[in-house]
Amino acid sequence: MDLHRRPPHAAADDGAIHHKKRRDSSTSSPKASDALPLPLYLTNAIFFTLFFSVAYFLLHRWRDKIRSHTPLHVVTLSEIAAIFSLIASFIYLLGFFGIDFVQSFISRASHDSWDLDDAVTAPSPAITKLPSRDTSIIFSEDDEEIVNSVVEGVTPSYALESRLGDCGRAAAIRRGALQRLTGRSLEGLPLEGFDYDSILGQCCEMPVGYVQIPVGVAGPLLLDGFEYTVPMATTEGCLVASTNRGCKAIYASGGASSVVLRDCMSRAPVVRFSTAKRAAQLKFFLEDPLNFDTLSLVFNRSSRFARLQGIQCAMAGKNAYLRFTCSTGDAMGMNMVSKGVQNVLDFLQNDFPDMDVIGISGNYCSDKKPAAVNWIEGRGKSVVCEAIIKEEVVQKVLKTNVSALVELNMLKNLAGSAVAGALGGFNAHASNIVSAIFIATGQDPAQNVESSHCITMMEAINDGRDLHISVTMPSIEVGTVGGGTQLASQSACLNLLGVKGASKESPGSNSRLLATIVAGSVLAGELSLMSAIAAGQLVNSHMKYNRSSKDVTKIS
- Residues tagged active-site: 236, 368, 444, 542
Q: In whole angstroms, what is the distance from residue 287 CA to residue 363 CA? A: 20
CB burial readout 121-150, b (16+ within 10 A) else e: ebeeeebeebbbbbebbbbbeebbebbbeb
SS3 content of the chain, % helix, strand, coil (to 5): 55, 15, 30
Length of the chain, in residues: 556
Render 263-323 in DSSP notation, one character per residue: EEEEE--EEE-SSHHHHHHHHHHHH-HHHHHHHHHHHHTT-SS-EEEEEEEEEETTEEEEE
Q: Give the N- to C-terminal CA distance of the chain in Å, as an integer.
A: 28
**CA nearest to 206, candidates 257, 264, 149, 167:** 167
The CA angle 246-249-254, to the nearest 5 degrees, is 125
Give dist(CA 265, CA 329) in Å, integer. 10
To the nearest 10°, the Cα dihedral for 503, 505, 507, 513? -60
* CB distance 124 to 152 below 8 Å: yes
Give 95-121 as a DSSP string: HHHTHHHHHHHHHHHHHHHHHHHHHHT
| Distance of alpha carbon 488 from alpha carbon 199, whole angstroms | 11
Specify which residues 312 forms β-bridges with: 323
Return all residues near 435 (Cβ < 8 A) that are at least 6 apart.
Answer: 234, 445, 448, 452
494 touches 440 (CB < 8 A): no
Neighbours of 294 (CB within 10 A): 11
Pairing outcome for strands 307-316 and 226-233: unpaired
Q: Which residues pair with 383 in a beta bridge?
A: 260, 473
Integer CA distances (angstroms), 248 to 232, 255, 394, 521, in order: 16, 9, 11, 11
d(CA 155, CA 132): 20
